Amino acid sequence: MLFLPETLCQLYFSDKLLGDPIEVLLTEWARQCKKQGGLVVLPHFPNPRAEHAATIVSGDVDALEMTSWGNLYGGIDPYSLSDWYRYLNCGYLVAAVGGTDKMSASTAVGTVRTYARIDPSQGFTYESWMAAIRRAETFVTYGPLLDFTVDGHPMGSRIEMSSSGGRVDVTWQLASVTVPMSRVELIVNGEIRESLEVPAWKKSGHWSVKVDKSSWLALLVRGHYSDRPEIIAAHSSPVMIRVEGSPFFPAADAVTILEQIEGALAYLDTVGTRADDRAYKRMRLVLESAHRTLHNRMHQLGYYHGHTPVAEHPGHR
């Protein structure tokens, strides 16, 4: 893959034959892209899982792609969302973007799209668009358009609260000229906090939401054509609210992410064909670093978890 300054990098596996040696990690590609001012997107998230977890934990990803694949009317896949929610729950803010992932003529270009908000004072340039993606000031959609703020803060914002928490005002606007809308939902830490039936083409509203622990909030829009089932038609990137003394870190989600990194390590150790010892050791150190970062967070926060051979150490006994 060629990296040019200020380019868009989508992290795919190399086009290699089965049995070809592993010479470089996607995480390393991402770092090279970022060094040159590029934007890093994980395509058709969460598959293939491989080392995605390590790349996100390392902070080397700007956005995750919600793709339509070959199902033009399938909507945003709940499976993709549930895995994205797991990272958000642990405090890893990664923007949601859309991509057609067009592999054949059966998929229409633009079936699912990304909208990024560019400051009106800035020109509409590739650089300003990339900056908006990096801020996670985005939503992904099959048709409905949305605007979403929390206490006036746009998507991708981080809000700090004292240990007592408080209430926030969630404001939203919806419009569509393609997929008729049916319902809007407020997602808080991966769960539906508010749900409201809406007209097909336009609606606005607000909710007052109590926040007593660190939380992320995002807007989800459902819709459908009259002869088709309801789909998740649009989803915003979140607003993150950190409540003092309350970490973003549910243990079950953290363990799952840790296990995904361990899976990448196991593949590198046992299944993947080694290019040479130096490359193998370099790549293993990259994965081990991400694993250690998350593993140490769990210990610092006092979360017990079972250790696999990868993470076993005397201090755990």
Which residue in 195, 203, 207 sits closest to 171, CA to CA?
Answer: 207
How far is 97 from 67, CA to CA, in rounded Å? Answer: 9
Averaged pLDDT, groups of 10, the chain, 317 residues long: 42 58 91 93 83 94 83 84 95 92 73 90 91 96 96 97 97 96 98 98 97 97 95 97 94 92 93 90 95 92 70 54
Domain range spanning residue 210? Answer: 62-243
pLDDT of residue 207: 98
CB neighbours of 71 closer than 8 A, spacing ≥ 6?
Answer: none
Residue 44 belongs to a domain:
no
How many domains is the chain partitioned into structurally?
A: 1
Angle of the 26-35 helix axis to the 277-300 helix axis, nearest 10:
90
Residue 255 belongs to a domain:
no
Residue 275 belongs to a domain:
no
* Angle, vertex CA 290, rays to CA 285 and CA 295, nearest 5: 115
At residue 50, the 3 state secondary structure works out as coil
Residue 304 belongs to a domain:
no
CATH of the domain at 188: 2.60.40.10
Residue 181 belongs to a domain:
yes
How far is 287 from 28, CA to CA, in rounded Å? Answer: 10
pLDDT of residue 275: 86
pLDDT of residue 21: 86
pLDDT of residue 11: 53
Instruction: Note the pTM of the prediction, 2 decimals.
Output: 0.90
How far is 313 from 274, CA to CA, in rounded Å? Answer: 26
Residue 137 belongs to a domain:
yes
How far is 163 from 214, CA to CA, in rounded Å? Answer: 9
Residue 302 belongs to a domain:
no
